Chains A and B, each alone.
Chain A
Amino acid sequence: MKSREQEYKEIFIAEALEYYDALNRHISVLEKNPQDDQALAETFRLLHNLKANAKAIGYLQISDVSHKLETAFSLIRSKELSFSQEVVAVLFDGIDLLGDLITNIDNDTYGEPDPVLMRNLDIIVDSLSDSTIELAKVQKYNTAKSLSLSDLIYIPIKKLDHMLNLVGELMIDRDRIISLSRELDNDELKNVSSHLYRITEDLQYSVMGARLVNIGSLFNKFPRIVRDIAIAENKEVNLVLEGQDIQIDRNILQIITDSLLHLVRNAVNHGIESAAERVKKGKPSTGQLSLIARNDRDNVIITLEDDGKGIDLKQVRDAAIERKLIMPDVAKALPDTEMLSFLFEPGFSLAKEVTEFSGRGVGLDVVKNAIDSMGGRISINSVKGKGTTFILQLPTSIAVKGALLFEVDNIFYAIPLIHTEQVVAITTDELHEVGEVMVADIKGETVTVVYLHELLNAEEADMRLGDKSKLKGQIQNIIVVSYNNRKLGLIVDKLYRQQDIVIKPLSKPLDTIDLYGGVTLLGTGKVCLVLDVPAITRFFITRR
């Protein structure tokens, strides 16, 4: 962890070098056109900032030289000092000196600034009227000055994508080598492989770290957007942003950009009421919209909350029944959160009967697909009259994900941790056959439970997921997964461990099997299939 002093110093130097480059640009303009007021104002401002910043952090030479130059430029501005050739030469020297001082902040052997130059600056600043003749020629200490380049570089994201892919491949091979070294029981190989482990881990975090950007780079665009929509809609909206400095993979941020824009637009367009309507309801006239990011273990949670009119559950229920997405008697018993998840069904709200909140629903399935595509989660809470909250749970990195490993019928499987809620063991007696599925009471909640052995192995025609007699043993290990506000229990044969895995997409023709989201190689060299929780959950919703 960087200390705050270190962080301040880095920021100071980066900004100071930026100022230095800009100063050189402006003074070159001024040399040709001393009347350029804008260049003059900018030069003055940059020197002013440099002086204040340097003084704050304690680089007194820099603040002293900046101060002298600032004074010189303010004299030029007020026409008390003419922009003569001699003066220009001194100013150029002064700015060069600033550059030297900035680049040598960490160089203890860097000596004092050239006294002749300092005296020249004093002469100009003290404005000894036309005594600029006194200006002595400064011995250029380094005429063949080396060019200094910025410490920051821009890298096309494609290059970083490629690096991350390579790291992924490397991790798979690494795990294989570690496993082999154990099998061979060769101490030297074990030592090398444990070193390899540490290095690849470092490399993995470095590459992942290089891809991180502040979430603020997206969030900070919203005040303007919200303001514009609010004005167009004649509404009063107060947007609160939080957690702008939370970091996230740049590609993930890219993927959620449109989704977040969509959700924010919806919130202002359809969520928050007009001032008059709000006052009538006894709410403050200004609607509150908050966009908050925070870290939660390895994930980033983004919450978008409005205090608008909320969603009418009854309308959602009626529409879901009308569209035959759910049986009326089942709909009655369905918890509110599960009912709301119908809003994410493709084209759900396009139906005429729900036009009143159609804007809410249009495209929510698109938003959901975008979040699913990177292995994230989205959920919605809403109270009619009170407001709506969207919660986006996003992985920090795309390629490497924490996963839970387990076995079914001697084959290894993995489920990304982002979808797992809990792991429980219950007795077979606690499972109940209900229609074509089994259900169990898990911590006070009725959850549909699936015997993976049957789901993954039985022919579709013979598949009997509601048949308890197929279960082996008395104790069943269940992984509870959750997707789109719905929970599902998966009965597995054997639970293993949590592990970071690199998920590779399945290649043709396997890529059409939508129960699997990808594949990974374990250190033992065994193939491990990664279950696609969204797909499995959808499969069961259609069956119920």
Chain B
Amino acid sequence: MKKILIVDDSFYMRTMLKNMLTDAGYEVVGEAPNGQTALELAKTTNPDLITLDVILPDNTGLDVLKGIKADQPDMKVVIVSAVGQEVIVNEAIEFGALAYIVKPFSEEKVLEVVSKALAE
């Protein structure tokens, strides 16, 4: 089972993502509500993929992305962001994020992006 770490500061968003991913047969190995936890869980849970929200209470998602990539250069990261964050998303792609999902997302979109990213 592919392991996924969810990084999002909203419990509501995490719950939705988790349900969608779990229903589709992925294993959600961790949920991080902030950058600090995200960096820790990225190391300790060793997921196959991380979904990363770009606005977090303690860091920007970009800092978290850089932190993860510095430690685990091959880690697959998918950005989850709301409309209006295009600048950050573009930057994130430059820093090695594989794809992005725009909130509000549909289940199909999430699963499509995640499975594509995992296949890369």
Contact = CB atoms under 8 A, between A and B. Distances in A.
Contact of A52 (B19, B27, B30, B82): B82
A13 B104 CA distance: 17
B37 to A, nearest CB: 9
A173 B70 CA distance: 65
B13 A56 contact: yes
Please classify the interface of chain B as helix (H, G, I), strand (E, B), loop, or mixed, using the class held by over half of its residues.
mixed
A227 B19 CA distance: 27
Interface residues of B, number: 25
Contacts of B30: 223, 241
A12 B55 CA distance: 18
B25 interface: no
A241 B103 CA distance: 28
Contacts of A45: 9, 55-57
Contact of B12 (A15, A51, A242): A15
B29 A241 contact: yes
With a 10 A CB-CB cut-off, give which of B10, B16, B45, B57 has the most chain A CB atoms: B10
A8 B9 contact: no
A145 interface: no
A8 B40 contact: no
Helix, strand, loop or mixed for chain A's interface?
helix
B9 to A, nearest CB: 6
Given A51-B82, A52-B10, A223 B57 contact: no
A11 B18 CA distance: 14
B40 A49 contact: no
Interface in B90-120: 103-105
A223 B12 contact: no
Interface string A412-439: 0000000000000000000000000000
A240 interface: yes
Given A52-B103, A223-B40, A241-B29, A12 B12 contact: yes
Contacts of B19: 4
A53 B103 CA distance: 8
Please give me the 5 A-B residue pairs with the lowest Cβ-Cβ distance, nearest first.
A56-B104, A223-B44, A52-B103, A52-B82, A49-B10
Given A45-B9, A56-B12, 7 more contacts: A8-B12, A52-B82, A56-B104, A57-B12, A223-B40, A238-B45, A242-B27
24 contacts: A8-B12, A8-B16, A11-B11, A12-B12, A15-B12, A42-B57, A44-B55, A45-B56, A48-B82, A49-B9, A52-B13, A52-B82, A56-B16, A56-B105, A223-B40, A224-B44, A227-B43, A238-B45, A240-B3, A240-B29, A240-B45, A241-B30, A241-B45, A242-B27
